Amino acid sequence: MKNYSIAIDGPAGSGKSTVAKQIAKKLNLLYIDTGAMYRAVGLYCLKNNIDIDKEEKIAFALKNMNMSIELLEGIQNIYLNGENVTEKIRTQEVGKAASDVAVILAVRQKLVQIQRDLAKGHNVIMDGRDIGTNVLPDASVKIYLNANIEERTKRRCNELKTLGKQYDKEQIKKEIIQRDENDKNRKYNPLKKAEDAFEIDSSCMNIEQVIEAILNVVKQKINDLGV
């Protein structure tokens, strides 16, 4: 059987990772969370006091950065120089750092290559901001998942609350707006809807409804492709 891939793009808080994980389980796909990789680079820079505004320093630091991904009981875990940083990357500070380093070409080139290598020879679902337009431009199915700013803020606050972390709702909202600006206006591979992507607005949908909508698209596309 021919391998197939599903690309899910969209802004922060649109629900990409949540639904991608569930769909991966339902369809027995390899799930790749690309955002976690950028967060890992951001974490490395913060831990090693590397100035995020200094592109050449970050590019140099990449040489000392060994990143790998393992699936443990179906859950993606990300390792940075041998350390499992899956939980450590889920902070507001690291999220901001991830947005900053994501505009750097050297970072994007390194991580995109890792992502493409992971996708080879597997049925995969990958979420991020430039999957359908850059990482997997030939993906079998492309989804652009969106939601309004109020809903995305609410989701991010709930995520932090579940993790037992403190947060300020207005500050979260400002950071999401700023991240949208960074993602959509960066020079290299900005966030945008691929021409052949199916757009879903999840603002008024629960997780189950979004999953069902995406599965319907996947079923139709895969049938059309004869996979």
Q: In one letter, which amino acid is 81?
A: N
Number of separate domains in the chain: 1
Residue 149, domain extent: 5-211
Q: In one letter, which amino acid is 34?
A: T
Question: 8 φ, ψ to 5°?
Answer: -120, 115
In-domain check, residue 87? yes
Write down the pTM of the prediction.
0.82
In-domain check, residue 70? yes
Q: CB-hemisphere CA count at 13 Å for 28?
A: 1
1 Cβ partners below 8 Å, 6+ apart? 227
pLDDT of the residue at 45: 95
In-domain check, residue 227? no
pLDDT of the residue at 188: 86
Radius of gyration of the chain, Cα coordinates, nearest whole angstrom: 17
pLDDT of the residue at 71: 76
In-domain check, residue 224? no
In-domain check, residue 158? yes
Question: 219 φ, ψ to 5°?
Answer: -60, -45
Low-confidence ranges of the chain (pLDDT < 70): 1, 74, 225-227
Question: 147 φ, ψ to 5°?
Answer: -170, 155
- Output the domain CATH number for residue 172: 3.40.50.300
In-domain check, residue 174? yes
Count the Cβ atoms, other than its own, within 10 Å of residue 50: 18
Q: In one letter, which amino acid is 176?
A: I
Which residue bears the tokens 């799930």? 31
Looking at residue 66, what DSSP letter applies?
Answer: -
In-domain check, residue 96? yes
Count the Cβ atoms, other than its own, within 10 Å of residue 35: 18
For residues 75 and 25, give the distance between their C-alpha atoms in angstroms, rounded to a whole number.
10
